[in-house]
């Protein structure tokens, strides 16, 4: 059961809503259902309600947030049927800031864990992204950005994220917009003990999003019925 009881008290409590800006990388995958259920860190409630379709991995470099800048790596296994609606749900997520961990859990039931990141620009259009713990990398990816940009917004495809926190469902509908480019994943290495090892699979699509603005609103909490 997800909670913050095992965490040290935060130095900053930042209640929802949050306004955020930054850059991001979105990777879309069609993954075998057996692989997702067994290898992608699903909670029991996610495994029971998993439907499939497109999975996504995201790397985010937040420039401004209510708890300051931080970086993030997350995995969404696909679409779920929860509370009689189709929804997304996060099974694994790391961030670089302890206050983001605590507030992410309490505000939206997002199961954040702490790690360190290195983001390095190899040239004008190529970035190398590394996530690590105790200075040992468990995720490395190199992405090359295309030259053509286009607007990207959730206005035409509203996002719905459903998680469980203690004895409640937590439903959030974030919104975002930014300038997107098609990208290419040129190299990826993953430690399967720490993050879903999607390295053997070819991404269905890769987007590089620059200068986005995002809003994470106040979530809707609902008691889990026995």
Q: Is the pLDDT of residue 156 over 80?
A: no
Report the distance separating Cα 15 and Cα 6, nearest Å: 20
Condensed to tens digits (0 to 9), the pLDDT of residues 158-208 reads: 789 999 999 999 999 999 999 999 999 999 999 999 999 999 999 999 999
184: left (phi over 0), alpha (psi -120 to 50) or beta: beta
In degrees and rounded to multiples of 5, residue 48 shows phi and psi of -70, -25
* Nearest CA-CA partner of 129 in 114, 143, 149, 146: 143
Q: Is the pLDDT of residue 30 over 70?
A: yes
Q: How far apart are the first and last CA of the chain?
A: 15
- Region 135-164: mean pLDDT is 93
| β-sheet bridge partners, residue 116 | 132
- Was domain 18-223 assigned CATH 3.40.640.10? no
% the chain with pLDDT above 70: 99
Residue 51 CA, distance from chain mean position: 19
* Nearest CA-CA partner of 102 in 15, 170, 226, 204: 15
User: Residue 54: how many CB atoms within 10 A of its CB?
Assistant: 15
114 by DSSP, 3-state: which?
A: strand
Task: Assign 155 a pLDDT band (cuts: 50, 70, 90).
Answer: confident
> Can you give the residue ranges of every domain in the chain?
18-223
| Contact present, 178 and 152 (Cβ < 8 Å) | yes
User: What is this structure's pTM?
Assistant: 0.97
- Who's near 103: CB < 8 A, 6+ residues apart? 10, 12, 13, 14, 15, 66, 67
User: Residue 80: how many CB atoms within 10 A of its CB?
Assistant: 26
């Amino acid at each position: 059961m997800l909670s913050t009881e095992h965490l040290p008290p935060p130095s900053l409590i930042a209640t929802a809503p949050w306004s955020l800006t930054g850059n991001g990388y979105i990777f879309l995958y069609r993954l075998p259902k057996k692989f997702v259920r067994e290898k992608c860190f699903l909670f029991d409630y996610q495994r029971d309600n998993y439907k499939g379709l497109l999975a996504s991995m995201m790397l985010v470099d937040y420039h401004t947030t209510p708890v300051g800048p931080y970086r993030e790596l997350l995995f969404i296994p696909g679409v779920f049927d929860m509370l009689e609606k189709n929804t997304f749900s996060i099974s694994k997520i790391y961030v670089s800031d302890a206050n983001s961990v605590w507030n992410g859990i309490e505000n939206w039931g997002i199961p954040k864990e702490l790690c360190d990141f290195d983001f390095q620009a190899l040239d004008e259009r190529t970035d190398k992204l590394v996530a690590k713990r105790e200075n040992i990398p468990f995720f490395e990816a190199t992405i090359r950005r295309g030259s053509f940009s286009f607007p990207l917004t959730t206005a035409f495809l509203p996002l719905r994220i459903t998680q469980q926190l203690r004895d409640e469902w937590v439903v959030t509908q974030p919104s975002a917009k930014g300038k997107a480019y098609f990208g290419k994943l040129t190299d990826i290495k993953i430690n399967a003990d720490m993050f879903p090892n999607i390295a053997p699979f070819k991404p269905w699509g890769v987007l590089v999003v620059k200068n986005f603005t995002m809003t994470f609103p106040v979530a809707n909490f609902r008691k889990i019925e026995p």
